[in-house]
Chains A and B, each alone.
Chain A
């Protein structure tokens, strides 16, 4: 019944033990409301959101508590009802273990929601209006990077996109939240995909799913036939890590190579994650913003491994306790998977929009100290981005950050294949991450120094202008003074001045004498009136009492 579909393959990759079954044994279950939610203002790539609430304010579920700030930004919503108790710096799940600004919400357990505005017929909506709705719902890519989805749903200068690729590969070991989501909500995912197709004006959609998820495949296939959709193709792909990488998946499904330093959009393809599709369905058809997500809780350090619908902002320690706690002997906590995730120093950090998995291990893969590179080339054989990991390593080791970019450091997806196979246990990916952040810091410094130069030059210019103006004023004053001096030094001019003044006085006197008075040239009538008045005045002065 499925048509034969030609698949391509990407360079390198690894077959890794899956460990996925341990967390898919029970349904995802009801959402758990902790006492307190910690909501970082930055859970996405781009500018952090700006708080829209005050401390002490009561909020309802689904209410916006922070506005998007700038274009590459999305708003943040209250996951449940409660009171804002604080807006302060809190530890966020980040490899730096640094603090970031968060909104703290004390939940009240009532889970009261503000009124939602579902859209019943999105097909009538303009794609750009649809994108704005998706933005207002705070939706970011749930696959891991957290890029605002509305931007990736914009075909840009192209009016149509050839293919929409839906990433259902979920290639990293241990993680199974997308698998569970596809098993439980295939209809929602498919309807979300149709909304995406409308926003992108993409006729065709391919869902790429790894062949280690037969239940999810079956569920999606059944939903496709039930909903009678003919624009979505479900393709089973071989399980190779990292097929779930955006560029790798596009290569496997379409045979197209995404350009270096470019986007898949440049070749007419856009890639989104299945969980993003489901959250877009909820945002449009139910009007519900992104306030919770499915997270995998797994590893041999967890008593009750499972996938669980978790509110954004749920502290990990409280969530794990709610799910039965740790096994004794747990000594490593990872956010994300074992290949691309990062170690958490503490479990007192919240789940954010991009957290897909919490992995607790009892026996961490002990890293023996790295020994010198033997130039075996194994890293090059497995690199899915077709890079030269060994060259990149040398350049990073020597801190030659110009040359390392000539070897396309920024095409590295940090999948960890090279470190995994390295017989010398060199933490190669750590070197690339180190080099990337160093280069970004250098670029920031460069921008800052350019700014300082501009300001300094402006200041010099300003000082020079002020100096000139002052000199000009001084010159004028001096000239005026000199003119006065030279005038007073000559007797002739003095005499002349006196004469002139006298002449002026004479003129004035003359003018005063010749001045016309209003009592001249009176008519007989007026004279008579004056005489009468004068007479009365005289009489009054004689008899003042009357």
Chain B
């Protein structure tokens, strides 16, 4: 009887120690769910979700403080992916946050009009605008996420939204027309 108790006590001590050690050794900083949510979000950093960037929104979703339907750039596919990840029901995009645009856009600075005030540079969340005080500014199109945050601060309204140029390498085959539900013109069965 005593041996059994002692054995169990020793085993409990060993495993307890092991668990304690592992908990410290393999401790994960931060919330892995936030990373997963963040990787689904489109990273435009536009703030349309009412949070200052994608990561804060991801943190809010993880805490349950924000809904999954507040990201207009991500649109339906992002909502579905978030619902999938978090085991929630997908819901339509909240119109208060904006509407999903079909066409991707970037901004373009009219260099003739730009006065070089650097306000847009400070507003850009991904450092995609190049320039210096009293020097002409320009947008690095490849880095621009189309968040349009640089437009309100511009004092001379020289920033314009342009659609992303489509070329042969980014062209997509269109979706074929859906089959006709009621087959009135069914051909002869000799095919």
A interface residues with partner B (beta carbon < 8 Å): 42, 92, 94-96, 98, 100, 368-373, 397, 423-427, 430-431, 433-434, 436-438, 440-441, 444-445, 448-453, 455-459
Cβ contact of B172, chosen from A368, A427, A438, A452, cutoff 8 A: A438
> Which residues of A have CB within 8 Å of B45?
452, 456
> Which residues of B have CB within 8 Å of A42?
168
A450 to B54, CA, bound (A): 12
> Which residues of A have CB within 8 Å of B191?
423
A434 touches B173 (CB 8 A): yes
Interface pairs A-B: 5 shortest CB-CB: A449-B43, A371-B183, A96-B171, A437-B172, A452-B43
Tell me how far the C-beta of B94 lies from the nearest C-beta in chain A, rounded to whole angstroms. 21
B189 touches A458 (CB 8 A): no
A96 touches B176 (CB 8 A): no
> Which residues of A have CB within 8 Å of B53?
456
Given contacts A424-B179, A452-B43, whether A100 and B167 have CB atoms under 8 Å apart is yes
Among B122-141, those with CB < 8 Å from A are: 125-128
B42 touches A445 (CB 8 A): yes
A427 to B180, CA, bound (A): 12
Other 8 A-B pairs with CB < 8 A, given A436-B173, A449-B41, A455-B128: A369-B185, A370-B179, A372-B183, A431-B176, A441-B170, A441-B172, A444-B170, A456-B54
> Which residues of B have CB within 8 Å of A94?
168, 171
A373 touches B145 (CB 8 A): no
> Which residues of B have CB within 8 Å of A98?
166-168, 171
B143 touches A427 (CB 8 A): no
> Which residues of A have CB within 8 Å of B168?
42, 92, 94, 96, 98, 100
Q: Which residue of B lies closest to A428 (CB)?
A: B176
Q: Which residue of B lies closest to A423 (CB)?
A: B191
A-B contact pairs, 26 of them (CB 8 A): A42-B168, A95-B173, A96-B168, A98-B166, A98-B167, A369-B179, A369-B180, A369-B185, A373-B179, A423-B189, A423-B191, A424-B179, A426-B179, A430-B173, A436-B173, A437-B173, A441-B170, A441-B172, A450-B43, A452-B126, A456-B43, A456-B53, A456-B125, A456-B126, A457-B55, A459-B126
B148 within 8 A of A: no
B87 within 8 A of A: no
Q: Which residue of A lies closest to B42 (CB)?
A: A449
B170 touches A452 (CB 8 A): no
A459 touches B179 (CB 8 A): no
Digit string of B89-133 for contact with A (CB within 8 Å is 1, else 0)? 000000000000000000000000000000000000111100000
A368 touches B185 (CB 8 A): yes
Q: Which residue of A lies closest to B175 (CB)?
A: A434
Q: Which residue of B lies closest to A427 (CB)?
A: B176
B172 touches A459 (CB 8 A): no
> Which residues of B have CB within 8 Å of A451?
143
Tell me how far the C-beta of A106 lies from the nearest C-beta in chain B, rounded to whole angstroms. 25
> Which residues of B have CB within 8 Å of A431?
176
Cβ contact of B177, chosen from A370, A448, A453, A459, cutoff 8 A: A370
> Which residues of A have CB within 8 Å of B143?
451-452, 455
A452 touches B179 (CB 8 A): no
A42 to B172, CA, bound (A): 18
Digit string of B32-62 for contact with A (CB within 8 Å is 1, else 0)? 0000001001111100000001110000000
B171 touches A453 (CB 8 A): no
> Which residues of B have CB within 8 Å of A458?
127
> Which residues of A have CB within 8 Å of B181?
372
B38 touches A453 (CB 8 A): yes
B180 touches A371 (CB 8 A): yes
B185 touches A372 (CB 8 A): no
Q: Which residue of B lies closest to A40 (CB)?
A: B168
> Which residues of A have CB within 8 Å of B187?
368, 425
> Which residues of B have CB within 8 Å of A453?
38, 43, 54
Tell me how far the C-beta of B115 lies from the nearest C-beta in chain A, rounded to whole angstroms. 23
> Which residues of A have CB within 8 Å of B172?
434, 437-438, 440-441
> Which residues of B have CB within 8 Å of A373?
179
Tell me how far the C-beta of B173 lies from the nearest C-beta in chain A, rounded to whole angstroms. 4
> Which residues of B have CB within 8 Å of A426?
179
B173 touches A459 (CB 8 A): no
> Which residues of A have CB within 8 Å of B189?
423
Q: Which residue of A lies closest to B171 (CB)?
A: A96
> Which residues of A have CB within 8 Å of B54?
453, 456
B23 within 8 A of A: no
Q: Which residue of A lies closest to B140 (CB)?
A: A455
> Which residues of B have CB within 8 Å of A424?
179
Q: Which residue of B lies closest to A463 (CB)?
A: B122
Q: Which residue of B lies closest to A92 (CB)?
A: B168
A25 to B167, CA, bound (A): 40
Tell me how far the C-beta of B186 lies from the nearest C-beta in chain A, rounded to whole angstroms. 6
Tell me how far the C-beta of B52 lies from the nearest C-beta in chain A, rounded to whole angstroms. 10
Tell me how far the C-beta of A458 lies from the nearest C-beta in chain B, rounded to whole angstroms. 7
Tell me how far the C-beta of B39 lies from the nearest C-beta in chain A, rounded to whole angstroms. 8
> Which residues of A have CB within 8 Å of B30?
none
Which of B167, B168, B170, B183 has the largest number of chain A CB atoms within 10 A?
B168
Tell me how far the C-beta of B47 lies from the nearest C-beta in chain A, rounded to whole angstroms. 12
Cβ contact of A455, chosen from B127, B173, B180, cutoff 8 A: B127
B64 within 8 A of A: no
A437 touches B171 (CB 8 A): yes
Tell me how far the C-beta of B31 lies from the nearest C-beta in chain A, rounded to whole angstroms. 16
Tell me how far the C-beta of B34 lies from the nearest C-beta in chain A, rounded to whole angstroms. 13
B20 within 8 A of A: no
Which of B53, B55, B179 has the largest number of chain A CB atoms within 10 A?
B179
> Which residues of B have CB within 8 Å of A450?
43
